[in-house]
Homo-oligomer: A and B are copies of this chain.
Amino acid sequence: MYLTMNRFRIKPGHEATFEAIWKARDSQLPQVPGFVSFHLVKGPAREDHTLYASHTVWESEGDFQAWTQSEAFRAAHKGAGSHREIYAGPPELELFTSVQHIAN
């Protein structure tokens, strides 16, 4: 498993706007080679922000890297940078490799 998570801190009261932006996105992910699954996940609410993360699983790091160079990536990120007023800070991208797996 190769996991990419982009962490977003959203100002309180703007959660619905943030979720709507993602739902309106032209992700094209199901057509991308090596794509396994995507979730937008909502984390803890703090006094000054609510944490969200995009949570995307890939078959390999190479599949993720190829996607970032693709037309599908450009389409998915069209309009990123708008709605600046809802963010409590810049997003933080974290890339993870699995070192241990326990299946059900």
Contact = CB atoms under 8 A, between A and B. Distances in A.
Contacts of A23: 100
Tally of this chain's copies:
2
A66 interface: no
Label chain A's interface by main secondary structure: strand
16 contacts: A1-B41, A3-B41, A19-B100, A22-B100, A29-B104, A30-B102, A30-B104, A37-B104, A39-B101, A40-B98, A40-B99, A41-B96, A41-B97, A41-B99, A43-B96, A51-B94
Contacts of A27: 102
Interface residues of A, number: 33
Interface of A: 1, 3, 19, 22-23, 27, 29-30, 35-44, 51-53, 55, 94-104
Contacts of A102: 27, 29-30, 37-39
A39 B95 contact: no
